Amino acid sequence: MPANILLVEDEPAIQELIAVNLTRAGHHVIRVLDAEAAQRIVRETLPDLILLDWMLPGMSGVEFARRLRQDERTSAIPLIMLTARGEEQDKVAGLETGADDYITKPFSPRELVARIKAVLRRRAPEKTEDPVELAGLRLDPASHRVSADHRNVVLGPTEFKLLHFLMTRPERVHSRTQVLDQVWGDHVFVEERTVDVHIRRLRAALEPTGHDGLIQTVRGSGYRFSTQGECTE
Ligand code: CA
């Protein structure tokens, strides 16, 4: 499950070591030396995960983590803190900022890769290759296949990603902006109504088996995948 990982680390040797190992594990790594540069990256494109060093020049990693969590747009980005501090109290402080995990230096690259995988599986299930099955609808990321009541459903790449995103977060409402961030990644040049276009195509593909009702519009809020019957909002 390749992910776009933003690595915020000011020590070049450690940055290099981590980047080499993550690239080898199949991830795409964007490297920055401080939180200010990380903020600029995040403003344009949301990474799938952020690896954040605690001690940084300028804005600290803890402060940056706090800002990420306070902003609705970035609050859900999986976050792993890297630190030289091993104290229990610091660990608690790190997790209180909203980090999903906490790794103390020095760590083995293998451990880091395993922790990333665990956090992605928990926080961003659509980044994994695990098949998802709900209400007779089955999506298999490995084979890129979707079936509805055992009948093959042909979807375009965007509809596939959209369905994967919605199915791995059922019963939750997602605004168009959130969908753009998560499905399109860089949405600077994409209009919100593009989401509506692809939702329409997705519903049309699911209509023959009656699964289109699973993709619900929540007026004024966005979209939701729900197995709890038709939406009346
Ligand atoms: Ca540092």
CA of 227 to the centre of ligand 1 (A): 46
Domain boundary among 93, 127, 161: 127
- Shared domain check, 101 and 154: no
pLDDT in tens, 100-137: 888 888 889 899 999 998 998 888 887 778 899 999 99
CA of 14 to the centre of ligand 1 (A): 9
233: in domain: no
232: in domain: no
Bond into 106 cis (ω within 30): yes
Q: Using the predicted structure, report yes or no on whether residue 188 has a pLDDT greater than 70.
A: no
CA of 5 to the centre of ligand 1 (A): 18
Total number of domains in the chain: 2
Comparing CA positions, the residue from 204, 201, 207, 199 lying closest to residue 225 is: 199
- Shared domain check, 173 and 139: yes
- Shared domain check, 139 and 206: yes
- Shared domain check, 192 and 140: yes
CA of 61 to the centre of ligand 1 (A): 9
Can you give the pLDDT at residue 144?
93
- The residue segments making up the domain with residue 147 are 132-225
CA of 209 to the centre of ligand 1 (A): 54
- Shared domain check, 219 and 149: yes
97: in domain: yes
54: in domain: yes
Can you give the pLDDT at residue 184?
83
Can you give the pLDDT at residue 44?
86
CA of 84 to the centre of ligand 1 (A): 8
* Percent of the chain predicted with pLDDT > 70: 92
Residues 102 and 83: their CA atoms lie apart, in Å, by 8
Comparing CA positions, the residue from 26, 89, 36 lying closest to residue 63 is: 36
Can you give the pLDDT at residue 140?
95
Ion ligand 1 contact residues with beta carbon within 5 A: 10, 53, 55
CA of 9 to the centre of ligand 1 (A): 6
- Shared domain check, 143 and 106: no
- Shared domain check, 166 and 86: no
83: in domain: yes
Residues 136 and 216: their CA atoms lie apart, in Å, by 17
pTM of the complete model: 0.72
- Whether residue 213 contacts residue 230, with contact meaning beta carbons closer than 8 Å, is answered with yes
CA of 145 to the centre of ligand 1 (A): 43
Local confidence band at 86 (pLDDT 50, 70, 90 cut-offs): low
How confident is the model over 52-62, as a mean pLDDT? 92
Q: Using the predicted structure, report yes or no on whether residue 232 has a pLDDT greater than 60.
A: no
- Shared domain check, 92 and 72: yes
CA of 34 to the centre of ligand 1 (A): 9
Q: Using the predicted structure, report yes or no on whether residue 171 has a pLDDT greater than 60.
A: yes
- Shared domain check, 67 and 177: no
CA of 114 to the centre of ligand 1 (A): 22
CA of 121 to the centre of ligand 1 (A): 27
Beta bridge pairs of residue 137: 134, 148
- Shared domain check, 114 and 179: no
CA 80 to chain CA mean position, Å: 13
Residue 165: phi and psi, rounded to 5, are -60, -50
Domain harbouring 110, CATH code: 3.40.50.2300
pLDDT in tens, 11-49: 999 999 999 999 999 999 999 999 999 999 999 888 999
